[in-house]
Amino acid sequence: MTKIILTLICAICTFTTFNSQNINLDEYEIYIGDTLVAKSDFVKFSNTLTEERSKKLQFKPISDGAKKAYFFNGKLSSNGTIKNLKENGFWQYWHPNGKKAREGEFVDGKPNGTHKYWYENGDLRAIGNWKNGVYDGKWEMYQPNKEIVIQVYKDGKLIE
Protein backbone atom coordinates (compact mmCIF):
# COMPACT_ATOMS: atom_id res chain seq x y z
CA MET A 1 0.00 0.00 0.00
CA THR A 2 2.87 2.40 0.80
CA LYS A 3 4.40 1.80 -2.67
CA ILE A 4 1.09 2.69 -4.35
CA ILE A 5 0.77 5.92 -2.35
CA LEU A 6 4.38 6.91 -3.08
CA THR A 7 3.87 6.15 -6.79
CA LEU A 8 0.75 8.35 -6.86
CA ILE A 9 2.53 11.20 -5.07
CA CYS A 10 5.45 11.00 -7.54
CA ALA A 11 3.06 10.97 -10.51
CA ILE A 12 1.16 14.00 -9.20
CA CYS A 13 4.39 15.92 -8.52
CA THR A 14 5.75 15.12 -12.01
CA PHE A 15 2.48 16.14 -13.70
CA THR A 16 2.37 19.41 -11.72
CA THR A 17 5.99 20.21 -12.56
CA PHE A 18 5.47 19.70 -16.30
CA ASN A 19 2.28 21.76 -16.35
CA SER A 20 3.82 24.63 -14.39
CA GLN A 21 6.54 25.00 -17.04
CA ASN A 22 4.11 26.39 -19.61
CA ILE A 23 5.19 29.95 -20.21
CA ASN A 24 3.24 32.83 -21.80
CA LEU A 25 5.74 34.10 -24.38
CA ASP A 26 3.82 37.41 -24.63
CA GLU A 27 5.19 38.27 -21.18
CA TYR A 28 8.82 37.25 -21.71
CA GLU A 29 11.86 37.97 -23.81
CA ILE A 30 13.89 34.97 -24.91
CA TYR A 31 17.66 35.11 -24.68
CA ILE A 32 20.42 32.73 -25.63
CA GLY A 33 23.27 34.13 -23.60
CA ASP A 34 23.16 37.90 -24.16
CA THR A 35 21.35 37.67 -27.52
CA LEU A 36 17.64 38.50 -27.71
CA VAL A 37 15.99 35.88 -29.93
CA ALA A 38 13.07 36.51 -32.31
CA LYS A 39 10.03 34.81 -30.76
CA SER A 40 8.86 33.54 -34.16
CA ASP A 41 12.20 31.80 -34.66
CA PHE A 42 12.18 30.36 -31.14
CA VAL A 43 8.69 28.90 -31.64
CA LYS A 44 9.66 27.48 -35.03
CA PHE A 45 13.11 26.11 -34.17
CA SER A 46 13.31 25.61 -30.39
CA ASN A 47 13.11 21.83 -30.79
CA THR A 48 16.35 21.94 -32.81
CA LEU A 49 18.46 23.86 -30.28
CA THR A 50 21.88 22.41 -29.66
CA GLU A 51 22.74 21.34 -26.13
CA GLU A 52 25.15 24.28 -25.86
CA ARG A 53 22.44 26.81 -26.84
CA SER A 54 19.86 25.13 -24.61
CA LYS A 55 22.12 25.62 -21.59
CA LYS A 56 22.27 29.38 -22.33
CA LEU A 57 18.49 29.73 -22.83
CA GLN A 58 16.81 32.28 -20.54
CA PHE A 59 13.27 33.65 -20.27
CA LYS A 60 13.27 37.16 -18.82
CA PRO A 61 10.24 39.36 -18.14
CA ILE A 62 9.86 42.02 -20.85
CA SER A 63 11.77 45.17 -19.93
CA ASP A 64 11.80 48.71 -21.29
CA GLY A 65 14.62 49.94 -23.50
CA ALA A 66 16.15 49.68 -26.95
CA LYS A 67 15.78 46.15 -28.36
CA LYS A 68 17.44 44.27 -31.17
CA ALA A 69 16.23 40.71 -31.70
CA TYR A 70 17.98 38.18 -33.92
CA PHE A 71 17.03 35.09 -35.88
CA PHE A 72 18.85 31.84 -35.08
CA ASN A 73 20.82 32.35 -38.30
CA GLY A 74 22.37 35.48 -36.74
CA LYS A 75 20.54 38.01 -38.91
CA LEU A 76 18.65 40.92 -37.35
CA SER A 77 14.90 40.27 -36.87
CA SER A 78 13.67 43.52 -35.30
CA ASN A 79 14.88 46.82 -33.95
CA GLY A 80 12.98 49.33 -31.82
CA THR A 81 12.15 50.55 -28.35
CA ILE A 82 10.00 49.04 -25.62
CA LYS A 83 8.33 51.61 -23.34
CA ASN A 84 5.77 50.69 -20.68
CA LEU A 85 6.45 47.06 -21.71
CA LYS A 86 5.11 47.65 -25.26
CA GLU A 87 6.47 48.60 -28.67
CA ASN A 88 6.70 52.38 -28.95
CA GLY A 89 8.28 54.61 -31.57
CA PHE A 90 9.77 53.54 -34.89
CA TRP A 91 10.24 49.79 -35.39
CA GLN A 92 11.86 47.83 -38.21
CA TYR A 93 11.50 44.13 -38.97
CA TRP A 94 13.44 41.87 -41.34
CA HIS A 95 12.90 38.55 -43.06
CA PRO A 96 15.28 35.69 -42.11
CA ASN A 97 17.18 36.29 -45.38
CA GLY A 98 18.15 39.79 -44.19
CA LYS A 99 15.76 41.76 -46.44
CA LYS A 100 13.51 44.30 -44.75
CA ALA A 101 9.98 43.03 -43.96
CA ARG A 102 8.23 46.00 -42.31
CA GLU A 103 8.72 49.43 -40.80
CA GLY A 104 6.51 51.90 -38.98
CA GLU A 105 5.53 53.66 -35.78
CA PHE A 106 3.94 52.04 -32.72
CA VAL A 107 2.09 53.65 -29.82
CA ASP A 108 1.48 51.50 -26.74
CA GLY A 109 2.10 48.33 -28.75
CA LYS A 110 -0.30 49.23 -31.56
CA PRO A 111 0.70 50.22 -35.10
CA ASN A 112 0.01 53.88 -35.83
CA GLY A 113 0.66 56.00 -38.92
CA THR A 114 2.11 54.82 -42.22
CA HIS A 115 3.69 51.36 -42.35
CA LYS A 116 5.58 49.82 -45.25
CA TYR A 117 5.86 46.08 -45.98
CA TRP A 118 8.18 44.14 -48.28
CA TYR A 119 8.21 40.65 -49.78
CA GLU A 120 11.15 38.36 -48.95
CA ASN A 121 12.69 39.18 -52.34
CA GLY A 122 12.84 42.88 -51.39
CA ASP A 123 9.94 44.07 -53.58
CA LEU A 124 7.44 46.44 -52.00
CA ARG A 125 4.35 44.55 -50.77
CA ALA A 126 2.17 47.30 -49.23
CA ILE A 127 2.00 50.81 -47.85
CA GLY A 128 -0.84 51.64 -45.52
CA ASN A 129 -2.06 53.65 -42.60
CA TRP A 130 -2.91 52.49 -39.10
CA LYS A 131 -4.76 54.35 -36.38
CA ASN A 132 -4.69 52.95 -32.86
CA GLY A 133 -4.03 49.41 -34.10
CA VAL A 134 -6.62 49.24 -36.93
CA TYR A 135 -6.46 50.01 -40.64
CA ASP A 136 -7.44 53.63 -41.28
CA GLY A 137 -6.96 55.44 -44.57
CA LYS A 138 -5.46 54.41 -47.87
CA TRP A 139 -3.73 51.06 -48.37
CA GLU A 140 -1.78 50.21 -51.52
CA MET A 141 -1.05 46.52 -51.99
CA TYR A 142 1.49 45.51 -54.63
CA GLN A 143 0.85 42.09 -56.09
CA PRO A 144 3.79 39.94 -57.27
CA ASN A 145 2.59 40.50 -60.86
CA LYS A 146 3.05 44.28 -60.25
CA GLU A 147 -0.72 44.94 -60.15
CA ILE A 148 -1.61 47.53 -57.50
CA VAL A 149 -4.73 47.10 -55.37
CA ILE A 150 -5.93 50.20 -53.52
CA GLN A 151 -8.30 50.00 -50.57
CA VAL A 152 -9.55 52.66 -48.19
CA TYR A 153 -10.42 51.92 -44.55
CA LYS A 154 -12.17 53.88 -41.83
CA ASP A 155 -11.75 52.69 -38.23
CA GLY A 156 -10.74 49.23 -39.41
CA LYS A 157 -13.61 48.78 -41.90
CA LEU A 158 -13.17 48.64 -45.67
CA ILE A 159 -15.11 51.54 -47.22
CA GLU A 160 -13.72 51.62 -50.75
Confidence grade of residue 112 (pLDDT, cut at 50, 70, 90): very high
Q: How many CB atoms lie within 10 A of CB 128?
A: 21
Q: Which residues have a Cβ under 8 Å from the Cβ of 89 and sit 6 or more positions away?
A: 80, 81, 83, 105, 106
Residue 17 has pLDDT above 60, yes or no: no
Residue 151 has pLDDT above 80, yes or no: yes
Confidence grade of residue 111 (pLDDT, cut at 50, 70, 90): very high
Confidence grade of residue 23 (pLDDT, cut at 50, 70, 90): confident
| Mean pLDDT to the nearest integer, 69-95 | 97
Query: What phi and psi, each to the nearest 5 degrees, are found at residue 96?
Result: -60, -20
Return mean pLDDT, the chain.
88
Least confident window among 16-30, 37-51, 145-159 = 16-30
Confidence grade of residue 140 (pLDDT, cut at 50, 70, 90): very high
Higher per-residue confidence, 5 vs 44: 44
The pTM is what?
Answer: 0.82
How many whole angstroms separate alpha carbon 128 and alpha carbon 143? 14
Beta bridge partners of 148: 142
